[in-house]
Amino acid sequence: MDMSQFTKAKKAVSVSVGESVRIIRELQELSQTELAALTGIPQSTISAIENDRVNLGVERAKVIARALMVHPSVLVFPGWEVVRESAA
């Protein structure tokens, strides 16, 4: 695979996984209770994830990302900015 096809990423801000879940949830004007209803994940677990007391995990990331209509990587790798280099 030719690595030149990929765009480099750099860390833009320092945000935890839990903070990214909370930020995206709040931007979509959802309460933890509403997100719990959409995902089937208990509200207490969502609270624990947002407060970094429980790991998000791959399966929960997929379920929450689907409910928030974002790619799971947005939740799992928060704070990364894609830097596009010019082709020139």
Which pLDDT does position 32 carry in this prediction? 98
Long-range contacts of range 26-32, CB-CB < 8 Å, 24 or more positions apart?
Answer: 28/68, 28/69, 30/68
- Mean pLDDT of successive 10-residue stretches along the chain, which has 88 residues: 64 79 95 98 97 93 95 80 55
Domain spans in the chain, listed from the N-terminal domain onward: 3-83
User: Residue 30 and residue 7: Cα distance in Å, rounded?
Assistant: 32
Which pLDDT does position 30 carry in this prediction? 97
Total residue length of the chain: 88
Q: Which of 84, 82, 83, 62 is nearest to 73 (CA)?
A: 62
Looking at 2.60.40.10, 1.10.260.40, 1.10.357.10, 3.40.50.720, the CATH number of the domain 3-83 comes to 1.10.260.40
Which pLDDT does position 7 carry in this prediction? 66
Which pLDDT does position 27 carry in this prediction? 94
